[in-house]
Chains A and B, each alone.
Chain A
Amino acid sequence: MFRKTTKQLSDWLIAATSSRSFALLAPIAVALLLGACSSNHPRDTLNPAGDGAQISAWFFWLYMILDTVIFAIVVGALTIALLKFSKKKGDDDSLPPQNHGNMKLEVIWTVIPTLILVVLGVITIGGVFKLAEKPAEEQKVIEVDVTGKQWWWEFDYRDSKISTANELHVEEGTQVALHLTSADVIHAFWVPRVSGKRDATPGRSYPLYFKPFEKGEFVGQCAELCGASHARMGIKMIVHPVKGADSYDNWVKGQLAQAAAPTTALQKAGKKVFETKGCASCHTIRGVKELSQRSRTTGPDLTHVGSRTTIAALALTNNEENLAKWVKNPQSVKEAALMTNLNLSDADAKAVAAYLFSLK
């Protein structure tokens, strides 16, 4: 706790005086460039993997160059002024020139920035409309209804029954259209390497269009304060290749299948726990129990929960041990989690975890 903090503090102090972090104390503009260039970062907005993020990054560099020039002019002029126009030892008390201004200069430093901003404004407005462009009808579009809930994400694929949680699967090079809404408060969907963010507002559905062009896994999280566990509302976007065993089509096929039947005795016991101890009043497992109506408190569809790599919106890695920990006491994993603590026995928790993990 506090000790951990202070220990880390001293560790960092030592590191800071010996390593690259010292570079931060170097001139400010240089540091910003250095920092912005570190591109191996898992959520780097400037290392785009989707067209939305690419447009944003392009604008970043455009404005970064402009800002660097302006900042250099201001700091340069200030530095020269400090060097040249300081009162020096031995100077008498005579007054410096008492002129009140210069009309020509006023006009110059009003008109030139105005012209620059007009050009930038036109480019910027172009970017705004480009990002809002609806995808053309004839191309393949993966359309997903995204519902932000305290504190997880529900992804309902429009052209199938697939409903998954927190892990959004899409295809490399294929247009994606997310339709964002919320079941409770305002959330914001943000996967920095793929696209800028978009609010998920209750009662409304806003589109977010992007096309991922790099395969792999990209993480992000909710970006609008949404309550106690706002920090634990992660998103993982998995961009599948078009072909191969790991293809998007194969993933869809797997998700469309009904839930796997339990095979071991433990899994069978777990299924029983799911059906009898209350889990099924909020969770769907297709072929076992389907909810007829969804509500704000409805939990994720668990038909293929075993195929996910994480649970509780990226709070835990998905394995039997963590699943048991989660179902036994959700609030110990995630503050104020809305999932009911059913007071399962250790045996029940273990069984239901085994069953859920088998639902690949």
Chain B
Amino acid sequence: MSAKLHDIEALQAPEPHMHYERPGKTGLMDWLTTVDHKKVGVVYWAAGAFFLLVGGLEALLFRIQLAVPDNDFMGGETFNGLVTMHATTMVFLAIMPMTAGFANFLVPLLIGARDVAFPRLNAWSLWTFLGGALVINASFLFGGPPAAGWTGYAPLTGPEFGGTGIDFWWSGLALLSASSMAASINFIVTILNMRAPGMTLLRVPVLGWMMLVIQFLLALSFPPVTVGLILLGFDRMFGTTFYNVSMGGDPQLWQHLFWLFGHPEVYVLILPAMGIVSEILPVFARRPLFGQTAVIFSGIFIGFVGFGVWAHHMFTAGMGPVADAAFAATTAIIAIPTGVKIFNWLGTLWGGKMTYPTPMLFAIAFIPIFTLGGLSGLMHAAAPLDLQQHDSYFVVAHFHYVLVGGALLGLFAGTYFYFPKVTGRMMSDGLGKAHFWLFLIGMNITFFPQHMLGNEGMPRRIYTYPADAQWDLYNMLGTIGVIIMTVAMLIFVYNVIVSVKKGAIAGRDPWDAATLEWLTESPPKVQNFDFTPIVLSERPVWDHKYTEGMEIIAPEKGESFHMPSYSWKPMISSGFVLMLIIGILLNTFMPGNWLWIVAALAAVGVVGSVWAWVSEPV
């Protein structure tokens, strides 16, 4: 049985009447004042992709340094700065915002909503994120980048040892934290309250679910690290001694606060990629996702347990055997729900009728590559073994398999898959496949030998190594792999730019997919749907096409949709928050009363702009 009952492309509904409080802007002004989740999502994704290239460039530079032993291409401080910025950029400014791009663009479409619950707060999150990214990278221009690693272990970040880059680092991260927390509340409310009629929680697509889980992770994990960052700021600005051991402080306090955030953060990076893969595999296997409920609940379980494993990053810190044993055990538990997901993906492919356009290639490659990263993670859970692997290149290999082979492959898969929905045009499949193969080969040449380097005793974050350590072969391979990945990324960028203008026209449902986002036009109109879908299964669009599983209610004649109007307030309010951070940075370079003057002005500005915001008619 393959004949379609309904043709999605032929869907027609009367043009609804749109009601706005204020008429919209156009051109650049439109992008600056937009509250449309789709435009916000595109900016998030584009910013993330840009910083992905920046972070890649930083990696390319320090891989040149590491290509040969005793190299003097750069010194230790420069190297430490680039390593710190590479990781900070990739985690906070590349993968997270690209994920946020998918969340923003897709979540309302996945659940059949017209926008997010708080559209202006959404825009505020975007501008605050951009402000934080700006602050962190401004360190390159003023006094050099932070050089204490992305983990920023006290007291290397303290006033005694850390350079001015640390001030940009902690204050920029504080901004990103505020942005993420606001966004997380927004999306929790959206997903829980704004689903289309009939879409029960278990009918929310897996990607929607993973996005919901990570919003809870963000909302609960950012507060501890924000406290940690503010304590660090107090130590640096006002001479408090939270992390200063000679004054009774405790450097390990930072490690606990950081990893209490840092480990859930790992799942913030990987769960959306798992969600994307869970959407793509069924489409190209032409089967439902195997065990969808199990995949959803395993994601929720990972989210919960993710808060109980943070100290496995501290097995060498001397917590004592009881804590080590407890965290080793909780960490191993994570392997169970992860395995459930992997087996269910395999179950989805098994019995399918697979085709292999670019998104499917990335999604399939995700399975073994992520599995490898997960398995080396299982090794780290064994505390006695981790004493060797901790802070060695084995760990570097592990988290790159999880974050490049996992999160990034997932995000690439999602990009190729959803590009037609976002732009209305297909990306080139040929270029996509070139990108895929080069990237896959490059990443394995770079990161696989790093397992061996770790076993051979090479610590991470060293800017040079002696020839007699015999680490040269694998390091040279690492550098070659990065060059291959660079070529792959250039192809990707070219593909994106060309396809936006010249890609083949996509239509509503180019992949014969199953979920609500494919019901609407590509790109979707500002109101997302001209009609109201009534969801009767977890595959509404598929069932509509093949088994009559969805009803569609067309708007009645004369019915009008109230849509949120453009607003300057989010950007202005976010600008005043940024001003507060600038005051802190002025204090670093021109100690005096600058901080207080600027802070007072900024506080007045924040209060004023929020007042204007809440009293603005929408």
Q: Which residues of A does B touch, CB under 8 Å?
A: 1-2, 4-5, 8-9, 12-13, 16, 21, 24-25, 28, 31-32, 35-36, 38, 41-46, 52-53, 55-57, 59-60, 62-64, 66-67, 70-71, 74-75, 77-78, 81-82, 85-87, 91-102, 105-106, 109-110, 113-114, 117, 120-121, 124-125, 127-132, 180, 184-186, 188, 190, 192-193, 195-199, 201-204, 206-207, 219-232, 335-336
A193: B residues at CB distance < 8 A: 457
Q: Count of B residues near A, CB < 8 Å?
A: 111
What are the 6 closest A-B residue pairs judged by CB atoms, nearest first?
A196-B387, A43-B457, A203-B245, A206-B318, A35-B452, A192-B457
Q: What residues make up the interface of B, taking CB atoms closer than 8 Å to A?
A: 1-2, 64, 67-68, 71-73, 75-77, 79-80, 147-149, 153, 155-156, 160-161, 245-246, 250-252, 285-294, 316-318, 320-321, 324-325, 328-329, 332-333, 335-336, 339-340, 342-344, 346-347, 349-356, 364, 367-368, 371-372, 375-376, 378-379, 381-388, 390-392, 444-445, 448-449, 451-452, 454-465, 468-470, 473, 476-477, 479-480, 546
Expressed in whole angstroms, the minimum distance between the Cβ of B178 and any Cβ of chain A is 27
B354 to A85, Cβ gap below 8 A?
A: yes
Report the minimal beta-carbon distance from A50 to chain B, rounded to whole angstroms. Answer: 12
CB-contact partner of A71 in B343, B375, B468, B473, under 8 A? B375
| B546: A residues at CB distance < 8 A | 95
Q: Is the CB of B328 within 8 A of A121?
A: yes
**Cβ–Cβ contact A117 & B333, under 8 A:** yes
Contact B286 A95 (CB under 8 A): yes
Known contacts A113-B339, A132-B320; is-contact A5 B68 (Cβ 8 Å): yes
List of A residues within 8 angstroms of B464 by Cβ: 231-232
Contact assessment for B287 and A231 in the assembled complex, using a CB-CB cutoff below 8 Å:
no
CB neighbours of B64 from chain A (8 A)? 2, 5
Chain B residues near A59: list those with CB within 8 A: 379, 382, 384-385
Q: A67-B375, A185-B161 are in contact. Are A9 and B340 (CB under 8 A)?
A: no
Q: Which residues of B contact A199 (CB under 8 A)?
A: 316-318
Nearest chain-B residue to A53 (Cβ)? B388
Which chain A residue lies CB-closest to B464? A231
Residues from chain A with a CB closer than 8 A to the CB of B72 are 1
Could you tell me if B469 and A128 are in contact, using CB atoms closer than 8 angstroms?
Answer: no
Centre residue among B289, B320, B353, B356 by max chain A CB count within 10 A = B353
Contacts A21-B473, A185-B155, A336-B76 given; does A101 touch B291 at CB 8 Å: yes
Complex Cα–Cα for A220 and B391 (A): 13
Residues of A with C-beta under 8 A to B352? 81, 85, 96
- How many Å from the CB of A215 to the closest CB on chain B? 19
Q: Is the CB of A128 within 8 A of B73?
A: no
Can you report 24 residue pairs joining A to B where beta carbons are below 8 Å apart?
Answer: A2-B64, A5-B73, A8-B67, A8-B68, A44-B456, A55-B384, A56-B388, A86-B355, A92-B2, A95-B2, A96-B353, A106-B291, A110-B339, A124-B381, A131-B387, A180-B318, A184-B160, A196-B386, A197-B387, A202-B245, A204-B245, A223-B391, A225-B149, A231-B463
Residues of chain A with a CB closer than 8 A to B1's CB: 94-95
The answer on a CB contact under 8 Å between A188 and B462 is no
- Which listed residue (A28, A43, A52, A129) contacts B448, Cβ 8 A? A28
